A = this chain, B = another copy of it.
Amino acid sequence: MKNKHGSKRALTRNQSLVFEALRKAKNPVGAYELLDQLREHGLRAPLQIYRTLDQLIELKIVHRLESLNAWTLCCDAEHDSTPVFAICNDCGIVTECFDENISSNIQKISKRSGFVADRSVIEIHGRCDQCETSQG
Listed in ascending order, the chain A residues whose CB lies under 8 Å from chain B are 66-67, 84, 86, 88-89, 95, 97, 99, 101-102, 105-106, 108-110, 112-129, 132-133
Contacts and interface: CB of A to CB of B under 8 A. Distances in A.
Contacts of A121: 66-67, 121-125
Number of copies: 2
Contact of A127 (B89, B102, B115): B115
A85 to B, nearest CB: 9
A98 B41 CA distance: 47
Given A115-B127, A120-B122, A120-B124, 5 more contacts: A101-B101, A102-B106, A102-B109, A117-B124, A118-B125
A118 B112 CA distance: 27
Closest 8 CB pairs of A and B: A114-B129, A118-B126, A117-B126, A66-B67, A121-B123, A119-B125, A86-B115, A66-B66
A122 B106 CA distance: 10
A70 to B, nearest CB: 12
A67 to B, nearest CB: 4
Contacts of A106: 84, 102, 124
A106 B115 CA distance: 22
Nearest to A128: B115
B113 A118 contact: no
A110 B101 CA distance: 14
